[in-house]
Amino acid sequence: MSSSKAEADKKRSPKAPSHGSVMVGVSFADGIILAINSVNNLIYYLDDHIYCCANGAGYDRELLVDVSTKLEGSRVARSQILVSQAVELINRLCDQAEPTDLLLAGEDVTGLHLLTMKAPHTTSLVDFAALGDGATGPSGPAEYLKAHWQPDMTLKQAEALARRTVTLGSTKNVCVDVCIVFKQPPPRTECLTSLRRYNQKQS
C-alpha cells in the first residue's frame, strides 16, 4: 500500500451505522424544507444559504465539515458562494470515498436548488426527495412523499409533509430536526429542533 493511500485510509473514519436513517427535502412556494431523523443524521451548515443533510458521524461528518471550512475561506474572495461551487467541492472531495447519500438545499443568485447526491458526480435537481436506508420500500417514506407532494405548497403544508415523511421511516419515536431555506428577499434561513416527538402510527 502506498504511503499516500495509507494516510488517506488513516484519516477516513468508517461510516456510522444508519439503520432507520431518513432525510427529506421538500420545495414549497417560498423556499425549501430539509427534515431529518436526528438520531442518525445532521443538517450541516455549508454557507449562509446552503445546507446539507447527511449521516451524523463517520466520513460524512468529516467530509462536510471540511467542505464548510473550505467554503468559508472562499467567501473572503467572493461576495456570495454559489450552490454549484458547493456541489463541485463535495464531488472533488468525494472522488475516492465510499458512495454516500447527501441531500443539499441552497439559495443563490441563480435561485433555489434542492439536489440529491447519491454518489460522487451523480447529482440530480429535484422538487422533493426522501433518502436513506429507512426511506425505501413499496409503502415507505419515498413513495409517501411522491404521492403527497404538490407544487406551490404553503410553508405549513410542506413542513407537515416533511415531518410526516421522516417519521414513516422509523418504527419508534424520533425527533425531527428541520431547516428552512427561504427565497430571497429577505435572505434568511431558519433551523428548528422539534420539541415534539413523532412516531410511525401518528395520523
pLDDT for the residue 53: 93
Structure-model confidence comparison of residues 75 and 66, the more confident one: 66
- What are the strands of the beta sheet with 50-55, ordered from one edge? 41-47, 50-55, 102-108, 111-119, 122-125
pLDDT band at 55 (very low <50, low <70, confident <90, very high): confident
What is the C-alpha to C-alpha distance for residues 27 and 152, in angstroms, rounded to an integer?
A: 8
Confidence class for position 45, pLDDT limits 50, 70, 90: very high
User: Taking the chain, what is the end-to-end CA distance rounded to the nearest angstrom?
Assistant: 54
Half-sphere exposure of 11 (CA within 13 A, CB side): 12
Q: Mind listing the pLDDT tens digit for each residue in 144-199? A: 999 999 999 999 999 999 999 999 977 667 789 999 999 887 545 667 665 444 44
**pLDDT more than 70, % of the chain:** 74
What average pLDDT does the segment 10-37 reach?
A: 76
Superfamily of domain 20-196: Aminohydrolase, N-terminal nucleophile (Ntn) domain (3.60.20.10)
